Amino acid sequence: MTVQIACIGEPLAEISQGNSGLGVGFGGDTLNTAIYCARLAQGHDIAVHYVSAVGQDTLSQGAVDLLAREGVRTDHVTRDPARQIGIYAIQNDAAGERSFHYWRDQSAARQMFAEDNASHLAAIEGCDLAYLSGISIAILTQPARDRLWLALQARRAAGMRVAFDSNYRPNLWDSAGVARREIARFWQITDIALPSHEDEQVLFGQADPQAIAARLVDGGAHSGAVKCGADGPIALSGPQAGPYLQAEKVVDTTGAGDSFNGAYLAAIARGEPQESALQLAHNLALQVVGQRGAIIDLAPAVRRMGSVIRLKPEHLDEYKRLHADVWSGVLARLRASNITNYSIYLKQPEHLMFGYFEYRGTDFAADDAAIAADPTTQEWWALCGPMQDPFETRKSGEWWAEMEEVFHLD
């Protein structure tokens, strides 16, 4: 059954400085998250919807067109003939940190959930996972926030999961006190918490990410993470993932947290374990901060993988003969599963074999499963497997024992 994800929020037209002058694009925290989530949900039975309101102007149409191109469904984006989408401009300092200037007081999205029969409520009724942020609720009137809160609470009681990022923007709120009250209220109905350490510290005065995570778990959240920038996320529950890679260069931090959220939600919807979801989300955020703009063209990060096994001495010559001319079907399946730069080395006289390859896809578990299900590969393994002598210390499910990378130099 298709997993239905609804991302609730406000799209914005983005004015930014490029190499050839000012340019216009589109952004907004939940819009960015929806796009990254949809990208990483491709090939899986997952539908990502955007829930918002826009105008009938050219910029509004541009935002809707972008969502559609990215595979985000827009059936819950309504059109307001009297309003438009908001606009913001970005300035970046030398360290890549950004400042924003907004023109959004009359945006169409501010009218969402204004009535008890608001059409946007239907999106919540039909989804399995609803994602929203502190910005999503900051732009609403208090009655609209109440209406949204009650709708989420009711659907959550029926099994829907709520994902929330506090994403605090002081200028959008009447006061810091109102922001704390409302964000705390939405934390009470959250299953997947995805705040940043900085926002929670400003809002609630907690400097320790572990304490923030404990507070959110006590409030009812059962998964997610406290985002801690370059240090990597702190998981709310279960084992901590890591170690996390560091960004080689920070160009623009716009959209880093949004991309993290999108990748994490896609991984969870795909059924991946928490550790894999956190690594995928962190690695995507690394790509985003290395380029200008919130929505970047994704080049899959290279995942280097090493493994080791022994070879039975009596099969040495036959094993080398087979690997001098590997079956074309086996090679084709490896390439289709995004496996590149694959080598096997032999150490004599121990008959120790070291395998190395690079993975350039976005879903290793799925690509690895496709290799294992391939009939030609299964025949190849049936031929080569008896020649190999696996280590007794390998992990459950492994044949070649996977190894830890302790050093790398490009």
Category of 313 on φ-ψ map: left (φ > 0), alpha (ψ -120 to 50) or beta: alpha
CB 224 within 8 A of CB 264: yes
Residue with tokens 């826009």: 54
- pTM for this model (two decimals): 0.73
DSSP 8-class letter at 227? B
pLDDT over 70 at 301, yes or no: no
The pLDDT tens digits of the residues spanning 36-84 come to 999 999 889 999 999 999 999 999 999 999 999 999 999 999 999 999 9
Category of 115 on φ-ψ map: left (φ > 0), alpha (ψ -120 to 50) or beta: beta
- For residue 162, name the pLDDT band (cuts at 50, 70, 90): very high
Neighbours of 119 (CB within 10 A): 13
Task: Enumerate residues 6+ apart whose C-beta is below 8 A from 248.
Answer: 290
Q: Which of 134, 211, 141, 145 is nearest to 170 (CA)?
A: 134
3-class secondary structure, 230: helix
pLDDT over 80 at 94, yes or no: no
Mean pLDDT of the chain: 92
The pLDDT tens digits of the residues spanning 183-205 come to 999 999 999 999 999 999 999 99
Q: What is the mean pLDDT of residues 237-253?
A: 79
Known active-site residue 374: no
Structural Rg of the chain based on CA atoms: 24
φ and ψ of 145, to 5 deg: -60, -45
Measure Cα distances from 406 to 53, 243, 306, 314, 409 in Å.
49, 11, 11, 33, 11
Q: Distance (Å, rounded) from C-alpha 110 to C-alpha 394?
A: 56
3-class secondary structure, 213: helix
How much is the pLDDT for 13? Answer: 92
3-class secondary structure, 28: coil
pLDDT over 70 at 299, yes or no: no
Q: Going from the N-terminus, what domains does the chain have, and what CATH number goes with each?
A: 3-290 (3.40.1190.20), 303-403 (3.30.70.100)
Q: pLDDT higher for 326 or 118? A: 326
What six digits make up the tokens of 264? 């994490």
Task: Enumerate residues 6+ apart whose C-beta is below 8 A from 161.
Answer: 128, 129, 130, 191, 192
How much is the pLDDT for 21? Answer: 76
Kind and range of the H or E element at 9? none
Measure Cα distances from 375 to 43, 334, 397 in Å.
21, 13, 19
The pLDDT tens digits of the residues spanning 333-381 come to 998 888 999 999 999 999 999 999 999 887 888 889 989 999 999 999 9
Burial class (CB in 10 A: 0-12, 13-18, 19+), 303: middle
- For residue 98, name the pLDDT band (cuts at 50, 70, 90): low
CB 162 within 8 A of CB 137: no
- For residue 151, name the pLDDT band (cuts at 50, 70, 90): very high
3-class secondary structure, 389: strand
Neighbours of 288 (CB within 10 A): 27
What six digits make up the tokens of 51? 């829930």
Annotate 280-349 with three-state secondary structure.
Answer: HHHHHHHHHHCCCCCCCCCCCCCEEEEEEEEECHHHHHHHHHHHCCCCHHHHHHHHHCCEEEEEEEEECC
What six digits make up the tokens of 300? 């899959």
Among the listed residues 258, 363, 367, 374, the single catalytic one is 258
Neighbours of 329 (CB within 10 A): 14
pLDDT over 70 at 97, yes or no: no
pLDDT over 70 at 178, yes or no: yes
Kind and range of the H or E element at 175? none
DSSP 8-class letter at 351? T
How much is the pLDDT for 246? Answer: 81
How much is the pLDDT for 248? Answer: 78
Q: What is the mean pLDDT of residues 145-152?
A: 97
